[in-house]
A and B are shown apart, each in its own frame.
Chain A
Amino acid sequence: EAGVTQSPTHLIKTRGQQATLRCSPISGHTSVYWYQQALGLGLQFLLWYDEGEERNRGNFPPRFSGRQFPNYSSELNVNALELEDSALYLCASSSWRRSSYEQYFGPGTRLTVT
């Protein structure tokens, strides 16, 4: 069974640009979560999508947004990039609606803002 996949592996952008990160969940999982892992800040919850809807968001500004598609894949958009947005962005999926709470993570997208 394929795990969570993310693309691209690495992304280099300039301050002020927009970044789009993509995630495909484990087959059968309808919930997708996004986390940011920045140096010195640990792992922080960004967004949760379930059944195509945004269900919850963490303490991040509105320029962090995303969506979930009918096939449950998801994308994270970061607008007006700032230097401090440089981080590893991790996607996880779960089968929360079936009361299976384990979250399985993908390998992440390393975003570098210069």
Chain B
Amino acid sequence: QQQVKQSPQSLIVQKGGISIINCAYENTAFDYFPWYQQFPGKGPALLIAIRPDVSEKKEGRFTISFNKSAKQFSLHIMDSQPGDSATYFCAASKVYDGSRLTFGEGTQLTVNP
């Protein structure tokens, strides 16, 4: 059972544009939602995370928007740069259950110069 669905599978954006990646979850017990960035041959790097008590969180050029009623959350990358080209994963977990992460399928982002 795929509990976290991520879209799009791939995304091409021009330098300076906004990249938007969406995720939807099924399990209403999830209460922690991180985003990871992964470059080829590397482990995932934590970008930003949100709990359901807030609807938006911003760190630098990265913003998470969270819609609890729709069971959806998204990552916005402002002023996208070629160095942002990587695979992005959303994830969800239940903190009381040790926070084991359930990942989305990933989005391959390409930012053209």
A residues in contact (CB < 8 Å) with B? 4, 31, 33, 35, 42-45, 48, 50, 55-56, 58, 90, 94, 96, 99, 101-108
Instruction: State which of B43, B89, B98 has its C-beta within 8 Å of the C-beta of A96.
Output: B98
Interface size in chain B (residues, C-beta < 8 A): 24
- Which secondary structure dominates chain A's binding surface? strand
Tell me, rounded to whole Å, the shortest Cβ–Cβ distance linking A95 to chain B: 11
User: How many Å lie between the Cα of A35 and that of B105 in the bound state?
Assistant: 14
Which A residues touch B46, using CB under 8 A? 102-105
A42-B103, A56-B100, A101-B32 known, 15 other contacts, Cβ within 8 Å? A4-B43, A31-B98, A31-B99, A33-B101, A43-B106, A55-B98, A90-B43, A90-B44, A96-B95, A96-B98, A101-B49, A103-B99, A105-B36, A105-B46, A108-B42
CB of B112 closer than 8 Å to a CB of A: no
